[in-house]
Amino acid sequence: MNLDLTEEQRLIQETAREFATAELAPVAGQLDRGGDREIFYTNLRTLAELGFMGLNVRDQYGGAEAGVVAFSLAITELARACASTAVTVSVNNMVCEVIQALGSEEQKQAYIPKICSGEFLTGAFALTEAGAGSDPAGMVSTAVRDGDHWVINGSKLFISSAATAGVFVVWAVTEPKAPKGKGISVFLVDAGSDGLIIGKAEEKMGQHASTTNEVLFHNCRVPDHALMGTVNDGFRTAVTELSGGRIGIGSLGLGLGLAAMDLATRYTLERMQFGKKISEFQAIQWKIADRYTELEAARLLLMQAAFLKEQGRPFAKQTSMAKVFATEAANRACYDALQMLGGYGYTTDYPIERYARDARITTIYEGTSEIQRLIIARSILNEFS
């Protein structure tokens, strides 16, 4: 694997960095405190115009065809400034990719260009339920065929971007008598469909500009052509296609960790204690050395996973390794950065406390660290057996 970036990858990375510095960073704190959401929406529309909503999507559907490595690079740069924007872009990309992988030609033409162009501000995944988070096969939402329609009932929790989504990718049980995980199908449900209800917004620890809502389905009727892929094969989709989303969240964590450590390291070169800069103390130097080493390792793991996916090779184990390592390294980086700033790190005068709050969820969504370790261990054990 050649670790040198291509000209296109470098251009995407630089464009994302410049946009994040000029447009996202100045308003991220304001949005975190509940500021004008129209600013957030405007930035998403601009990112769509720049091609960031379909980085691994074919040109015929309005995508950039830049690949998975470019996607990872872009999310890292956006997350350095605003994690809420980065996670929204990541989810939009994955919605497009899943539709591209599983949808009919009509479904691809109907939905992907609208997300890539910004006509649909966001897309959303409706997978998680109260009793089906780490265990999606345990979902109880149902879809029952009624003539040439399906009727969906149930509720979904913690759905990112639900309030602004133009389309929802929805999983539901279509064969209750099938073995666990075998009777689940996936549907495309338009926003505004009868029986689709956007529930309460969650009050979260971090990533405040990215809305997270409960989504309810009450006799929600969708046409038969809303079914995506093969009936009763949706769980495999959730396990395989969505694993690519872990590259996005790992990259988001990397961006947060780098932002925190960059700020803290600069601070140590200015802060004086005991008559010298605190960067001269070994305790501080070791934090800098350890955290940057881990973040560099995280970057390499993410690049490997992204490269394998881009090449069409098996990547599930590598994606889980990258996700668990990068997000846990990001949390350590944010908390060490806060420690390096001392009392100032605990105040809103510096964005370190926001980075720490935003980073905390990265070890939970798109599969918890515990689930990633199960996936990794099972893959290794299968290789030995």
- Half-sphere exposure (Cβ direction) of 203: Cα atoms closer than 13 Å: 1
Beta carbons of 223 and 146 less than 8 angstroms apart: no
Best CA proximity match to 171, nearest among 213, 120, 135, 207:
135
Amino acid at the residue 125: F
Query: CA 220: distance to chain centroid?
Result: 27
- Show the CA angle centred on residue 300, arms to residues 339 and 11, nearest 5°: 100
Which of 197, 171, 201 minimizes the C-alpha distance to 185? Answer: 171
From 23, 77, 294, 366, active-site residue: 366
Identity of the amino acid at 350: Y
Dihedral of alpha carbons 327, 332, 333, 335, sign: positive
Q: For 23, which DSSP code?
A: I
Clarify whether 366 is annotated catalytic.
yes
Contact between 23 and 77 (Cβ < 8 Å): no
- Compute the distance between CA of residue 140 and CA of residue 153 in angstroms, rounded to an integer: 9
Q: Which amino acid is at 209?
A: A
Which residue reads 């879809």 in tokens?
143
314: tokens are 């098996």
List, by residue number, the catalytic residues: 366
